[in-house]
Chains A and B, each alone.
Chain A
Amino acid sequence: QKEVEQNSGPLSVPEGAIASLNCTYSDQGSQSFFWYRQYSGKSPELIMFIYSNGDKEDGRFTAQLNKASQYVSLLIRDSQPSDSATYLCAVKSTGGFKTIFGAGTRLFVKA
């Protein structure tokens, strides 16, 4: 059973719209949550991290965490074609060194 689940997509949104990416995880001891962006043929890069329940905003990106529901999401406002990529959700337990990655959601922003 996968520990971090994401819808593989593709998720297609028009330019300027809000893109909503979702992720669920199974380990209740998870404490650190990350969103990585990966362009085709490139390596992943961190765009957001969140540790506490609630929302965390950084520019056009908002990460949302609900530990009771074991759910983390990423909102991208004013989506741009340059946001077209695969978004990987990653989860880490306290005190451990392993970060578990989801399979990723492909986002396509139409101009």
Chain B
Amino acid sequence: NAGVTQTPKFQVLKTGQSMTLQCAQDMNHNSMYWYRQDPGMGLRLIYYSASEGTTDKGEVPNGYNVSRLNKREFSLRLESAAPSQTSVYFCASSGGGRSYNEQFFGPGTRLTVL
């Protein structure tokens, strides 16, 4: 099992450009999440999907959109990138493991917006 995979691993954008971060999990988990991690700020939830077909805003949703394409895939879109969106983005899933609430994280996408 690959677990949680994310693409791309690195990306540099110019202000105003758009892009989509892809995430997929092969653990048959119901819930999926997108976080951003900035120095000194910890992980902040952008959006989450409790189950296939549903999405909800997290702590910092402005400037982002998401799509839960199917049970496996959950994508994050930046419509018009801004320098404040420079961060490391992690996708995670939950619904199994030692605890039902355990979150399994992908390797992250390091995004720089110039």
Contact = CB atoms under 8 A, between A and B. Distances in A.
Interface of B: 31, 35, 40-45, 48, 50, 56, 58-59, 90, 97-99, 101-103, 105-108
Q: Which range holds the interface residue count of chain A?
A: 20 to 34
Interface string A95-111: 00111111110000000
Given A98-B45, A99-B101, A101-B35, 15 more contacts: A4-B42, A8-B40, A34-B101, A34-B102, A43-B106, A43-B108, A44-B103, A44-B105, A45-B105, A46-B99, A46-B103, A49-B98, A88-B43, A99-B45, A102-B42
A32 B99 contact: yes
A98 B48 contact: yes
A77 interface: no
B31 A49 contact: no
16 contacts: A8-B40, A32-B99, A43-B90, A43-B107, A44-B90, A44-B105, A46-B99, A49-B101, A88-B43, A97-B48, A97-B50, A99-B45, A99-B101, A101-B42, A103-B40, A104-B42
B105 to A, nearest CB: 4
Chain B contact residues: over half helix, strand or loop, or mixed?
A: loop
A67 interface: no
B103 A103 contact: no
A98 B47 CA distance: 10
B50 A103 contact: no
Contacts of B103: 44, 46, 99
Contacts of A88: 42-43
A42 B44 CA distance: 16
B41 A32 contact: no
B29 to A, nearest CB: 12
A103 B41 contact: yes
A49 B102 CA distance: 8
Contacts of B45: 98-100
A104 to B, nearest CB: 6
A2 B41 CA distance: 10
Contact of A32 (B31, B44, B98, B101): B101
Contacts of A103: 40-42
